[in-house]
């Protein structure tokens, strides 16, 4: 076993050198066996694997990264952990990455661009093979450090704007307009908007802006807005819906920033005997699976969450940096339910 300088709480781990000694080969041969590269005879390979297993040796991939400038890491930034949308995005990222022997390292911004800057800086200290960032909006400092380090960046969830290198998502403006057109067609004219995160969710804002603009131009109007500062949840949706409908001239249709909020709205109506969609129509966003379990299927926009994550991850994995300026619109489709 190798001697150690520092008195870490951990036991001294064996090194390749130790394995090599036990197996009676050179350390380089052990390295080759561990990575499965180059020529190795079967006998030696077995010998090395056996010795490693017996000693409990685990390949130290980070030390190797040091020598090759290539750590098996992708930095992944998400706005929040409190939203299931990102569970699915992360699943897509994780599955794709793990398949290639890499792992994501996460950072959470809580919807703050300043925090995002800090998080990215921290993530960069891991010398990741690439970075996955939410949205196309970033601070100038963030852009600068990205440019300086030349790190590969994939932006996800949005395509309305100019990506740093490549983006994978869908058009929120389009999604907002689609929903506006649908609701107008169904005869609704007085709209309420319900969001969360105090307007910091820039993609939701894009949807709402496009929605408002279109309904206004079609002769309808947005009569009320609610925007809780707290995280999105069914509770928040229920509370805000209640507030909205208690006003003197309530809207006849409510467009929510996401399905959780909309489901909360539906629950409020259900509990208070408000007929949906006769008295008020409800529309969500994301098309999450749980909608199908609700008493009424809520109209929503289905977004390709898993695929966004998977595509972004595999773009990072592709070594060619050829496809700069790539805009991958994975599409989001309106799914009409029983609430509009």
Partner DNA sequence: TATATTTTTGTTAGCGCTAACACATTGCTT
Partner DNA sequence: AAGCAATGTGTTAGCGCTAACAAAAATATA
Interaction residues for DNA, span 31-70 (CB under 7 A)? 31-32, 34-35, 37-45, 59-61, 63-64, 66-69
247 near 224, Cβ under 8 Å? yes
Name which of 65 and 161 has its Cβ closer to DNA: 65
Q: Where are the alpha helices (DSSP H) in 192-279?
A: 202-217, 234-246, 259-271
Taking phi first (over 0 means left), then psi (-120 to 50 degrees means alpha), and beta for anything else, what does residue 95 get?
alpha
Distance CA 25, CA 29 (A): 7
Q: How many residues make contact with its own copies (CB under 8 A)?
A: 71
For residue 335, cis peptide bond before it (omega within 30 degrees of 0): no
Cβ-in-10-Å burial (0-12, 13-18, 19+) of 64 comes to middle
Encoded one letter per residue, x for contact with its own copies by CB under 8 A and - for no contact, window 55-74 reads xx-xxxxxx-xx-xxxx---
Residue 15's binding partner, choosing from DNA, its own copies, none, with beta-carbon cut-off 5 to 8 A by kind? DNA
Distance CA 233, CA 262 (A): 9
Q: Is 149 in the site for DNA (CB under 7 A)?
A: no
Residue 8's binding partner, choosing from its own copies, DNA, none, with beta-carbon cut-off 5 to 8 A by kind? its own copies
Query: How many residues does the structure list for the chain?
Result: 340
Look up residue 299 and give its DSSP letter: B
Instruction: Tell me the window of 79-87, 164-172, 248-256, 331-339 that interacts with its own copies (CB under 8 A).
Output: 79-87
Which member of 40, 267, 302, 330 binds its own copies (CB under 8 A)?
267
Residue 278's binding partner, choosing from its own copies, DNA, none, with beta-carbon cut-off 5 to 8 A by kind? none
Q: How remote is the C-alpha of 257 from its chain's centroid?
A: 16
Which member of 138, 152, 172, 207 binds its own copies (CB under 8 A)?
152
Q: Least distance in Å: CB of 67 to its own copies?
A: 9
Rounded to the nearest 10°, the torsion over CA 212, 216, 220, 224 is: 40
> Which 165-224 positions form the footprint of its own copies (CB under 8 A)?
none
**Phi, psi angles (nearest 5°) of residue 293:** -90, -10
107 near 73, Cβ under 8 Å? no
Residue 10's binding partner, choosing from DNA, its own copies, none, with beta-carbon cut-off 5 to 8 A by kind? its own copies
**Phi, psi angles (nearest 5°) of residue 336:** -80, 130
Which member of 40, 112, 121, 302 binds its own copies (CB under 8 A)?
121
Q: Least distance in Å: CB of 245 to its own copies?
A: 15
> Which 294-323 positions form the footprint of its own copies (CB under 8 A)?
294-295, 319-321
Instruction: Tell me the window of 20-28, 122-130, 163-171, 192-200 that interacts with its own copies (CB under 8 A).
Output: 122-130
Q: How many residues make contact with DNA (CB under 7 A)?
A: 36
Residue 108's binding partner, choosing from DNA, its own copies, none, with beta-carbon cut-off 5 to 8 A by kind? its own copies
Distance CA 59, CA 57 (A): 7
Q: Least distance in Å: CB of 51 to DNA?
A: 13
Which member of 6, 8, 10, 217 binds DNA (CB under 7 A)?
6
Per-residue exposure over 131-142, b if at least 16 CB sit within 10 Å of its own CB, e if not: bbbbbbebeeeb
Q: Is 10 in the site for its own copies (CB under 8 A)?
A: yes
Give residues in contact with DNA (CB under 7 A).
Answer: 2-6, 13, 15-17, 25-29, 31-32, 34-35, 37-45, 59-61, 63-64, 66-69
């Amino acid at each position: 076993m190798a001697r150690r300088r520092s008195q870490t709480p951990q036991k001294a781990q064996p090194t390749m050198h130790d394995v090599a000694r036990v197996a009676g080969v050179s350390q380089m041969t052990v390295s080759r066996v561990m990575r499965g590269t180059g020529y190795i005879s079967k006998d030696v390979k077995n010998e090395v694997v056996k010795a490693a297993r017996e000693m409990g040796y685990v390949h130290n991939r980070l030390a190797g990264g040091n020598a090759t400038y290539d750590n098996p890491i992708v930095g992944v930034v998400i706005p929040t952990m409190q939203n299931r949308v990102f569970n699915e995005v992360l699943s897509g990222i994780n599955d794709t990455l793990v398949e290639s022997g890499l792992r994501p390292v996460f950072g959470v911004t809580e919807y703050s661009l300043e925090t995002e800057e800090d998080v990215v800086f921290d993530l960069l200290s891991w010398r990741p093979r690439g970075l996955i960032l939410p949205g196309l909006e970033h601070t100038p400092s963030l852009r600068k450090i990205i440019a300086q380090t030349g790190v590969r960046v994939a932006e996800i969830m949005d395509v309305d704007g100019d990506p740093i290198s490549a983006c994978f998502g869908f058009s929120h403006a389009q999604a907002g307009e689609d929903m506006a057109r649908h609701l107008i067609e169904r005869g609704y004219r007085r709209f309420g908007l319900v969001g969360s995160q105090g307007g910091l969710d820039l993609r939701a804002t894009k949807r709402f802006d496009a929605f408002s603009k279109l309904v206004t131009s079609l002769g309808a109007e947005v009569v009320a807005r609610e925007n809780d500062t707290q995280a999105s949840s069914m509770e928040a949706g229920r509370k805000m819906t209640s507030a909205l409908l208690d006003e003197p001239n309530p809207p006849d249709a409510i467009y929510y920033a996401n399905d959780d909020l909309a489901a909360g709205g539906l629950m409020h109506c259900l509990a208070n005997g408000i007929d949906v969609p006769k008295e008020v129509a409800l529309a969500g966003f994301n098309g999450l699976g749980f909608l199908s379990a609700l008493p009424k299927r809520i109209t929503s926009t289905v977004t390709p969450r898993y695929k966004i994550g998977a595509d972004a991850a595999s773009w990072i994995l592709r070594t060619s940096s050829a496809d700069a300026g790539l805009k991958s619109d994975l599409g989001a489709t309106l799914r009409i339910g029983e609430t509009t």
